[in-house]
Amino acid sequence: MALERVMLFGLTIVAGRRVNYGRINAQTRKEAQEIFIRTALIQGELGGRFPFLEHNLALRQQFEELEDRVRRRGIVVDEEVLYAFYASRLKTAHDRSSLKRLLHDAGTDDFLRMREADICQTVPDGAELYRYPPTIRSAGLDIPLEYHFSPGAEDDGVSALVTARHLPELNPQVFEWLVPGLLPEKVLQLCKRLPKRLRRVLVPLPEAVDRMLDGLVLYQGSLYQELERVILRQHQVQVQRNDWQVDTLPPHLKMRFVLLDDSGQVLMQSRSLTDLLQQRAGIPASQEAKHLVLPAAQLVQADNLDNIETTLSLSAAPGKPELLAYATLKLDKEEHNLELHYLPDREESRRQNRTGLRLLLSQGFARESAALRKQCKDIVVSQSASWLSLGSGFAAAELQRQLFAFVLDAVFSLDMETIPTQAQYDAAVAVVQREGLLRRARPVLERVVQLVRQRRELNSLVGQWASRARQARCYDTSRHEEYQNLLERLVPADFLQQLSASELRERPRYLQALALRIKRAEHDPQKDAQKAARLRNPENRLQEAARFMRQPGHSSQCRSCLHEYAAMVEEFRISVFAPELGTRQPVSEKRLAQKWAEVENVCRQVE
């Protein structure tokens, strides 16, 4: 039997028989006790139930976790101190049996229970612990954090425990900041990795980093955007988003994400939230939400919106991760009244809120809403050929419903996906009461009618050009596809669901510019190709912009910047192909490049 087994049973083999090793002589008893203390007690491999040992191991683990949390050793005493503690109290006990006898004779295990002073050399003060919080706030949830201080290990640093259900809702920018205790080191390492032309402006670097940290607005937006702002203000140099060499940072300076299902089982792990989102498609939906106990439905009226709690944090069962439930305005069974429900599916909540808010608003303007519905029906019927040319496949009744919803959204100018505050709702209603629902709806309806007619005419123009080109044997498939793609992008078949009223306002000019281009290109295709080359880079950037919009947690500032860039591209297209129409703003390749640099600085995620 291996000598290590002495720690438990105290047995060895002498002359073919088992002998208690600790009883052979004083020297063997001392050796047995040392092995027993180091392996069974300090390492916790004794087995069985010994309350003093459970207490000591738990206390030691508590302070070892503090070492992981603040990333420094020296809080827990050396193993030799622990050894001395047990050795001074065990007398001749050297195995499990002799330990039990010792405890029985003493009548208590208090003499073997360690106190804080026996294990802990120094305790971090409250200010230091505050810099390493147990949770981080995102998506309305307190996301648990785990700390590990093990350089070179996969889990070194800070890990955020996130559930698959809430992964798409998390804002990646929150996690760029890590925790306050690691932020100074992260900023220093980021600055060390800047290009030399930028880094030399910041010397001496430690002092520059201290000034930067003083100037940061912590945990507001992106860490990188804040650093760029502070560096520009303090040193008058512009750092671009792609100047940050995040991939070369030590792993513990990037948040680690542990993805859990709703039962707490680990699904995957990564230092990139985007990577988790890309892999999440293969994860089966959880069934835990079915077991949530949701509040009973309540009747909702137009004067009690401030009484609604927009989100609730609930647990499917004791010990399960918390889940969010979202306030939802849901039609009752008769579809006459609104009820407040809470749904765990955010997208479904948003969809039903759109329908619910429209019902609430139309109920407050019952007569005008009825008249507006009739106008929508008349427009769909009278312009049936134009609607059919869209190729949406929607029935007339569905088009009428979409048109009514589109106009109602434009008239009231509310975010229909979220429940407004009472003040927001009352302000929107007051404007419509003052100006009249039908009066505000009229220009919106006129723009829609103009747009569907214009799109039909332009679709016909493209077809006529293609027919003539084929007859003249100069048909260009790529040019035809470009025209069709532009037409579809400007006015998609489901534009009532895709475009806002403000976006709709400029579409007739864009379509007019496309019509002029098609006519001119037929007479001089080579010149058109030269002009189109000027749009190649901006068009490629629009595709990159679409990728930015798919990123998790993109900010409202990012969305606004992207919309501004897309509008500039269309104005530039007008200036190139139909300059006589004029542009809404000065635009050029240089201005587009400057705007794109702004888009990248606002939207590009580097972690």
pLDDT band (50, 70, 90) for residue 128: confident
The first and second tokens of residue 175, run together, are 């996690």
- By C-alpha distance, which of 5, 33, 40 is closest to 19? 5
What per-residue confidence (pLDDT) applies to 414? Answer: 87
Q: Is 18 helix (H, G, I), strand (E, B) or coil?
A: strand
Most confident of 20-34, 60-74, 480-494: 480-494
DSSP character at residue 586: -
Angstrom distances, CA of residue 25 to CA of 17, 29, 32, 39, 104: 17, 6, 11, 21, 24
Q: What is the rounded CA–CA span in Å between residue 217 and residue 227?
A: 9
- The pLDDT > 90 percentage for the chain reads 57
Beta pairing class for 338-343 and 266-270: unpaired
- 501 or 15: whose pLDDT is higher? 501
pLDDT in tens, 553-607: 566 778 888 999 999 999 999 999 999 999 999 999 999 999 998 888 778 778 8
Task: Give the list of residues 6+ apart from residue 359 with CB closer than 8 angstroms, or none.
Answer: 329, 331, 338
Q: Where are the beta strands (DSSP E) in 3-49?
A: 11-14, 17-20
What per-residue confidence (pLDDT) applies to 551? Answer: 64
What per-residue confidence (pLDDT) applies to 553? Answer: 54
Contacts 24+ apart (CB under 8 A), 591-596: 592/537, 592/538, 592/541, 592/565, 592/568, 595/561, 595/564, 595/565, 595/568, 596/538, 596/541, 596/565
pLDDT in tens, 129-157: 899 999 999 877 889 999 999 998 999 99
The first and second tokens of residue 99, run together, are 């330990």
Q: What is the rounded CA–CA span in Å between residue 374 and residue 560?
A: 35
Write down the domain spans for the chain. Answer: 3-119, 128-281, 291-357, 367-509, 535-607
pLDDT band (50, 70, 90) for residue 395: very high
93 dihedral zone (left: phi>0; alpha: psi -120 to 50; beta): beta
DSSP assignment of 464-526 equals HHHHHHHHTT---HHHHHHHHHHHHHHS-TTHHHH--HHHHHHHHHHHHHHHHHHHHHHH-HH
What per-residue confidence (pLDDT) applies to 544? Answer: 82
Average pLDDT over residues 359-388: 94
Q: What residue type is assigned to position 12 of the chain?
A: T
* For residue 439, pLDDT beyond 50: yes
Q: Is 280 helix (H, G, I), strand (E, B) or coil?
A: helix
What per-residue confidence (pLDDT) applies to 324? Answer: 73
* For residue 6, pLDDT beyond 50: no
What per-residue confidence (pLDDT) applies to 517? Answer: 96
Q: Is 3 helix (H, G, I), strand (E, B) or coil?
A: helix
pLDDT in tens, 456-486: 999 999 999 999 999 999 999 999 999 999 9
Q: What is the rounded CA–CA span in Å between residue 224 and residue 150?
A: 27
Mean pLDDT, the chain, whole residue set: 87
- By C-alpha distance, which of 215, 198, 273, 239 is closest to 601? 239
Q: What residue type is assigned to position 459 of the chain?
A: N
Q: Where are the beta strands (DSSP E) in 26-156?
A: 135-138, 141-148
- By C-alpha distance, which of 459, 469, 410, 461 is closest to 437? 410
What per-residue confidence (pLDDT) applies to 261? Answer: 78
Q: What is the rounded CA–CA span in Å between residue 269 and residue 131?
A: 24
Whole-angstrom Cα Rg for the chain = 35
DSSP character at residue 312: E
The first and second tokens of residue 236, run together, are 């008058």
pLDDT band (50, 70, 90) for residue 23: low
What per-residue confidence (pLDDT) applies to 318? Answer: 59
What per-residue confidence (pLDDT) applies to 4? Answer: 45
* For residue 288, pLDDT beyond 60: no
What per-residue confidence (pLDDT) applies to 129? Answer: 87
Q: Is 313 helix (H, G, I), strand (E, B) or coil?
A: strand
What per-residue confidence (pLDDT) applies to 476? Answer: 92
* For residue 189, pLDDT beyond 90: yes
What per-residue confidence (pLDDT) applies to 22? Answer: 52
Q: By the 8 A CB rule, do 574 and 583 touch?
A: yes
Average pLDDT over residues 184-210: 95
What per-residue confidence (pLDDT) applies to 1? Answer: 39
Residue with tokens 């990123």: 551
- By C-alpha distance, which of 259, 255, 320 is closest to 292? 320
Question: How many of the other CB atoms lie within 10 Å of CB of 556?
Answer: 7
pLDDT in tens, 90-104: 988 888 889 999 999
What per-residue confidence (pLDDT) applies to 147? Answer: 96
Q: What is the rounded CA–CA span in Å between residue 386 and residue 372?
A: 20
Least confident of 132-136, 165-169, 227-231, 483-487: 165-169
Task: Give the list of residues 6+ apart from residue 352 with CB closer than 8 angstroms, or none.
Answer: 328, 329, 330, 331, 343
Average pLDDT over residues 222-236: 93
| H/E segment holding residue 191 | helix 183-192
